[in-house]
Amino acid sequence: MKTLVVLMAGLLVSACASLPSPATRRDTADALAARQGWQHIDIPARSFDLAAYVPRVQASGEMLSVYIEGDGFAWFSPSQPSSDPTPINPLGLKLALAQPDGPAAYLARPCQFVDAEASGCAQRYWTQQRFAPEVIAAEDQALDALKARFHAVQLTLVGYSGGAAVAALLAERRHDVSRLITVAGNLDPVAWTRYHHVEPLTGSLNPADARAALKGVRQWHFVGGQDRVVPPALVESFADGFPAAQRPTVRIEPGYTHDCCWTENWPRLIEQVH
């Protein structure tokens, strides 16, 4: 049986392996962003300081695409949460940097790329309560700040892995989300935990309960044909819960896994969204 740590982090890190420190992970992301002319900013939101990356020279346009990171390095072992959820492989950031055109920004999840000992950084916010109401409220406030910074009118939300759940829950509560796009997205955490026979995410919201509010949002959900973390059947099941006329588009990419092949092919894949 796969454990929650392996499934959500998408990483196999042994105790003897060399694990990059949180500071190293932040430096790596800063360097990755800087090479594309982006910079790190912090956005105060509720009880959190949420990290974001934005272009130093901001493009103009009514539509802003905001990429939301996955769950990151949430667990160190099957029974021990990590002390800092900053991702080792920030795939959400890489997708944002790969967007071929149009204004874009990246939004991390609580306690990623910041001092995890800062106010609000309780471990429950990257384990059982990663989709808690207060988490979604903070991300919602951060979206307002990004939207104002870019003078945007409408939003495209792009969520990777667990960031897909956050994006969907944000789309449910907002009235300015024109498009919802997910990549290897966990869109039904209840079905996901049942599928993998792991403990439910007690205290977290479930996007599958928000289908009625999401019917009016254009949706595209990309999933890898070889993804064992979020298998295509779970994404298809989420889409099947909508009326036929509002069923989201699901694109299964043969040979792709949970973390393989998305970044390098993103410019081509995003062209399928219109």
pLDDT at residue 14 is higher than 50: no
In Å, how far are 1, 79, 102, 121 from 155, measured between CA atoms? 39, 38, 12, 27
Count Cβ atoms below 10 Å from residue 216 Cβ, excluding itself.
10
pLDDT at residue 236 is higher than 90: yes
The pLDDT assigned to 119 comes to: 61
**CATH number of the domain that residue 163 is part of:** 3.40.50.1820
User: Mean pLDDT, to the nearest integer, of 89-113?
Assistant: 98
* Alpha-carbon span 9 to 92, nearest angstrom: 13
Arithmetic mean of pLDDT over the chain: 92
Predicted confidence band of residue 223 (pLDDT cuts 50, 70, 90): very high
* Alpha-carbon span 3 to 247, nearest angstrom: 31
User: Mean pLDDT, to the nearest integer, of 171-199?
Assistant: 97
Q: Give pLDDT tens digits for 46-64.
A: 989 999 999 999 887 899 9
Domain count, the chain: 1
Domain carrying residue 85 = 4-270
pLDDT at residue 8 is higher than 80: no
Asked if 48 and 120 count as a contact pair (C-beta separation under 8 A), the reply is yes
User: Mean pLDDT, to the nearest integer, of 54-75?
Assistant: 94
Closest CA relative to residue 10, chosen from 66, 74, 58, 61: 74
Q: Give pLDDT tens digits for 129-146.
A: 999 999 999 999 999 999
